Chains A and B, each alone.
Chain A
């Protein structure tokens, strides 16, 4: 018999607990869901989508970091004698109405867009998880207020909410973060609350309470680490939707002001030239498709990995 539970699969841990405590209800979750490294790394090898998605994303990030080395053109400098050139050897993605190299702009935009996308996943996840955990743990009036607020926020279409918030705050990156946080947090709150309602009655929370720990410490240090996996699964699978939403908001003119290149604003600028310069619309969009594909493969891969670890 193995002495340490290090590297065990959750199902093995639970089976062992059931064997050791016959006739007793084995708690749904025994402890931290994140098992130490070994099992995680071993599974990596089997996950093709994860590697493909991660590789694609790494390539995009590298290309944007080394954009200045890859293409000789400045993404902002105008060259009015060289406007609306079709794709060719000198300019693989052509030039725009100000004579700027579209390929260079696409590469430089990647950094901005991916950064915005990242924080627009992170902030709602933090806010929603925290509010959901507090609501589930405290129950009563707090729970009612938080959950009715969740219902309200869920009633608004995601984009309408975001557009409304940006309408109030004015276009810009900060407004975008606030808008996507406000329109995205509710799902996380709902997921975490449901998990906390179960975890609250578990033995390890009882033990922590018996130790005399404060509510804040129990929620932050004991419950949250154990209920966080489903929210991470939701976060990674919604990454692609979030980045598409931020790009859409930029396209509608609600993101960064020109001349800073972002994929959405580039396509919006290209709209006026669809009769003469299709490359201004189509080629920046390809960058979004590749990024979206990378994120959705990566998200599915990570979600599968985490599901494998937590379920069954």
Chain B
């Protein structure tokens, strides 16, 4: 299979998944027991408001027509009105997106800074002292609820030793790096064990590959060997691991935003559940689903472009 065919096939595979994601998000609200309009507007519903909402959602028409209306609205970027903010859902989401993106990217950078050197050190001496110690720490970290880890970091480094702020998001670049350090570190520690383990295994495998064996035989210094031959392959694997775990990473940021009171999508969706703001819940779920799908797509395509073997399989 050539690269263009691969890309085309990968894009075609996306169609049913996109359809499914929109369908699931549509069903979220339609499966509410009783009259969705009444549930959505709550105790303060007026007859006029109810009629307007029923009309908006097309509740008086057959389910398939309702879905067609919903899918059409989604395709044109129309996600309805927030019942709490009294603004279009899309606007609310766009407002709340930057902190989530900031947090996620920051966390990925921190976890790479933490894991790549450690994974290389562990892989160079498998079952050495460092490797054993790291294995114990990652096992412990995997058993830890990360919201609890975040709260403890908060108690340690914001309450007992007041180095970092307790909550908030900051305005300038430097302020954000400082405000988001503890939450990003929490997510990085949450992602770390998985990244470490996969990376370590990959590097050990690459170290035994013929081209590395050859480079070693011809006498290439170890530092150069690792930088040029091992790390390159290892980093490609890292991209894949991050792509595969992007859903997990986003789930992590939803929870951590709530721990540190960061005004992102995570606090938005949890707040909307309390307020029964269903259009916003639908919108955020849809955005997360689409983000995961597109990031997976980009990872796959990048991988196929970097490694021609993928497309030929």
Pairwise interchain contact A293-B139, C-beta atoms closer than 8 A: yes
Q: Which residues of A contact B23 (CB under 8 A)?
A: 152
Pairwise interchain contact B269-A292, C-beta atoms closer than 8 A: no
Q: Which residues of A contact B293 (CB under 8 A)?
A: 155
Q: Which residues of A contact B147 (CB under 8 A)?
A: 248, 251, 267
Q: A180 contacts the other chain (Cβ, under 8 Å)?
A: no
Taking the closest CB of chain B, its distance from the CB of A286, in whole angstroms, is 9
Pairwise interchain contact B250-A157, C-beta atoms closer than 8 A: yes
Q: B124 contacts the other chain (Cβ, under 8 Å)?
A: no
In the complex where A278-B155, A292-B142, A293-B139 touch, is A164 in contact with B16 (Cβ < 8 A)? Answer: no
Taking the closest CB of chain A, its distance from the CB of B145, in whole angstroms, is 5
Pairwise interchain contact A151-B142, C-beta atoms closer than 8 A: no
Q: B247 contacts the other chain (Cβ, under 8 Å)?
A: yes
Q: A44 contacts the other chain (Cβ, under 8 Å)?
A: no
Contact with A along B270-311 (1 / 0, CB 8 A): 101110001001001100110011001000000000000000
Pairwise interchain contact A163-B269, C-beta atoms closer than 8 A: yes
Pairwise interchain contact A248-B144, C-beta atoms closer than 8 A: no
Pairwise interchain contact A163-B254, C-beta atoms closer than 8 A: yes
Pairwise interchain contact B285-A285, C-beta atoms closer than 8 A: no
Q: B258 contacts the other chain (Cβ, under 8 Å)?
A: yes
Pairwise interchain contact A289-B143, C-beta atoms closer than 8 A: yes
Summed over the interface, the residue pairs from A and B with CB atoms below 8 Å come to a total of: 141
Q: A106 contacts the other chain (Cβ, under 8 Å)?
A: no
Q: B178 contacts the other chain (Cβ, under 8 Å)?
A: no
Chain A residues 253 to 312 lying within 8 A of chain B, measured CB to CB, are 253-254, 264, 267, 270-271, 274-275, 278, 281-282, 285, 288-289, 291-293, 295-296
Pairwise interchain contact A160-B285, C-beta atoms closer than 8 A: yes
Pairwise interchain contact B155-A274, C-beta atoms closer than 8 A: yes
Instruction: Name the residue among A166, A247, A285 with the largest chain B CB count within 10 angstroms.
Output: A285
Q: Which residues of B contact A157 (CB under 8 A)?
A: 246-248, 250-251, 254, 288, 292
Chain B residues 9 to 36 lying within 8 A of chain A, measured CB to CB, are 16-17, 20-21, 23-25, 28-29, 31-32
Pairwise interchain contact A168-B247, C-beta atoms closer than 8 A: no
Q: A213 contacts the other chain (Cβ, under 8 Å)?
A: no
How far, in angstroms, from A32 to B125 measured CA to CA in the complex?
40
Chain A residue, CB-CB nearest to B151: A281
In-complex Cβ contact of B258 among A252, A270, A295 (8 A): A252
How far, in angstroms, from A252 to B270 measured CA to CA in the complex?
8
Q: A208 contacts the other chain (Cβ, under 8 Å)?
A: no
Pairwise interchain contact A240-B145, C-beta atoms closer than 8 A: no
Chain A residues 68 to 95 lying within 8 A of chain B, measured CB to CB, are none
Contact with B along A230-251 (1 / 0, CB 8 A): 0000000000100010011001
Pairwise interchain contact B140-A293, C-beta atoms closer than 8 A: yes
Pairwise interchain contact B273-A160, C-beta atoms closer than 8 A: no
Interface residues on B, range: 35 or more
Instruction: Name the residue among B24, B32, B293 with the largest chain A CB count within 10 angstroms.
Output: B24
Q: B204 contacts the other chain (Cβ, under 8 Å)?
A: no
Chain B residues 156 to 172 lying within 8 A of chain A, measured CB to CB, are 159
In-complex Cβ contact of A156 among B29, B281, B288 (8 A): B288
Chain B residue, CB-CB nearest to A292: B143
Q: A149 contacts the other chain (Cβ, under 8 Å)?
A: yes
How far, in angstroms, from A244 to B251 measured CA to CA in the complex?
12
Pairwise interchain contact B152-A282, C-beta atoms closer than 8 A: yes
Q: Which residues of B contact A274 (CB under 8 A)?
A: 151, 154-155, 159
Instruction: Name the residue among A149, A157, A161, A271 with the largest chain B CB count within 10 angstroms.
Output: A157
Q: Which residues of B contact A167 (CB under 8 A)?
A: 28, 269, 272-273, 278, 281
Pairwise interchain contact B145-A251, C-beta atoms closer than 8 A: yes
Q: Which residues of A contact B269 (CB under 8 A)?
A: 160, 163, 167
Q: Which residues of A contact B292 (CB under 8 A)?
A: 155-157
Q: A159 contacts the other chain (Cβ, under 8 Å)?
A: yes
Q: B59 contacts the other chain (Cβ, under 8 Å)?
A: no
Pairwise interchain contact A289-B144, C-beta atoms closer than 8 A: yes
How far, in angstroms, from A253 to B258 measured CA to CA in the complex?
11
Q: B255 contacts the other chain (Cβ, under 8 Å)?
A: yes
14 examples of A-B residue contacts, CB within 8 angstroms: A151-B16, A151-B17, A153-B24, A155-B17, A156-B289, A158-B251, A159-B254, A163-B254, A244-B145, A247-B145, A251-B145, A285-B145, A289-B143, A292-B143
Chain A contact residues, CB within 8 Å of chain B: 148-149, 151-153, 155-161, 163-168, 240, 244, 247-248, 251-254, 264, 267, 270-271, 274-275, 278, 281-282, 285, 288-289, 291-293, 295-296
Chain B contact residues, CB within 8 Å of chain A: 16-17, 20-21, 23-25, 28-29, 31-32, 139-140, 142-145, 147-148, 151-152, 154-155, 159, 246-248, 250-251, 254-255, 258-259, 269-270, 272-274, 278, 281, 284-285, 288-289, 292-293, 296
Q: A167-B28, A167-B273, A251-B145 are in contact. List 19 more A-B contacts (CB 8 A).
A: A151-B20, A155-B17, A156-B21, A157-B250, A158-B248, A159-B251, A160-B289, A163-B254, A163-B270, A166-B273, A167-B281, A240-B143, A244-B143, A247-B145, A251-B147, A270-B151, A271-B151, A289-B148, A293-B139
